[in-house]
Structure 1
């Protein structure tokens, strides 16, 4: 009898421990339109991957991800929320669809889900930095772009491929800009073209042979190719320091 009681208590403690670790939870606002329902379904279909992403660098503070929010994508430190509007998802899907992204071998829906994972990694980075008071010297937006790419590479076997879809989204958004204005240079984010090349650089650096075609031959033969390999190595080491310092 005592053995049974001990087993029950052990099982209960395990469940409590697992619940305590699940500090990042998804919350869905009810979809009101067809487009919102489509976005909702795209998100729900990758919900296991979302949790897998969070667990790659667990948050030791409660964080809620609200899908269907009015604003965003953004991280709200006062509410400890990441807010993702449904219309953001549908806009990304429309952009990939219009560009006939399926010609790359990745469907617009999958590419949208890939870009969403990177966006969540980006906002999760803001939350992680805020919750753990991580020191960032330089632009935080650039830092969390890097973190998002590393999260994908570390969380998924094909994480670099997922990050590549996100990089292509930056490229597509850059193509829509006819002329740069002063606000583009004063924005807290880097230019879309810069975000594209920074992401591609990390992808290339993670496996130069596999992703050799991402960089032009002239770039690979220049110092830039070597820089991307060194940059990936350096940022990977920074990632490991984050895990050791804040991951427990």
Structure 2
């Protein structure tokens, strides 16, 4: 897990400051099984990082994060809750473990915590858009994927590495799909493989020298490299203006 920077005075120049008071309350449902207890412990380890991640974006209303919920991960605007089931954490851990993810130098447990941070940033993005009445032109799921990635990259010293674990989870989930169905193309989320490449693009754009190896060799490599740098800067600038406008 990357050492927290204390959220920079500007997230990629986003000018996001800590809110004076926490607006997010964590609620942990008592784990009932060994697997749920393991998931609970994985979450508790990164609870300080989770809280600091949230404080980077002020909300106009209170929010509760329920760990151990039955459904999710999701944001429920009717009750202003982010719901994270323990079984989701277990499933993510099992995916990384099955893939022998420790061979990358990151343990499955750490990768699970990384992916959970991205998931929480994603759902918090939904909450922020709803609570602050943000107008989103385009797919909101793509917008909050971008926000979650930007928050990780800029809030943590090794945030890009955290985001990379989250991207790898998308890749692993894509590998489990034998055949795409019609419903896959009409889903509110982009395809897992698209989410994987979109996240990699932002990671590369944040530091082209360090992450030069992320872009696959192809005739379009140079064009894609430039596009990812421009995309990272454009998305950062867009969120900068958006957040400043909705924080006043």
Using the size of structure 1 for normalisation, the TM-score is 0.90
Q: Secondary structure at the match of 2:103?
A: helix
CA 1:32 to 1:154, structure 2 compared with 1: closer, same or farther past 3 Å?
same
Give the root-mean-square deviation of aligned CA atoms: 1.4
1:118-129 matches, cutoff 5 A? 118-129=118-129
Which residues of structure 1 form unaligned runs of 5+? Answer: 1-17
User: How far apart, CA to CA, are the structure 2 residues paired with 1:215 and 1:81?
Assistant: 37
1:168-179 matches, cutoff 5 A? 168-179=168-179
1:144 maps onto 2:149 in alignment: no
CA 1:210 to 1:20, structure 2 compared with 1: closer, same or farther past 3 Å?
closer
CA contact (8 A) 1:122 1:148 kept: yes
Aligned to 2:208: 208
CA contact (8 A) 1:170 1:195 kept: yes
The alpha carbon displacement at 1:19 in A equals 9.6
Aligned to 2:242: 242
Deviates more, 1:175-184 or 1:234-243: 234-243
> Which has the larger helix fraction?
1
CA contact (8 A) 1:220 1:226 kept: no
CA contact (8 A) 2:215 2:221 kept: no
User: How far apart, CA to CA, are the structure 1 residues paired with 2:87 and 2:125?
Assistant: 22
Which residues of structure 2 form unaligned runs of 5+? Answer: 1-17
The alpha carbon displacement at 1:245 in A equals 1.4
Q: Secondary structure at the match of 1:151?
A: helix
User: How far apart, CA to CA, are the structure 2 residues paired with 1:219 and 1:173?
Assistant: 27
The alpha carbon displacement at 1:222 in A equals 3.2
User: How far apart, CA to CA, are the structure 1 residues paired with 2:134 and 2:206?
Assistant: 24
Which has more radius of gyration?
1
Higher relative contact order (CA 8 A, sep 6+): 2
CA contact (8 A) 1:24 1:63 kept: yes
The alpha carbon displacement at 1:153 in A equals 1.4
The alpha carbon displacement at 1:238 in A equals 1.3
1:102-117 matches, cutoff 5 A? 102-117=102-117
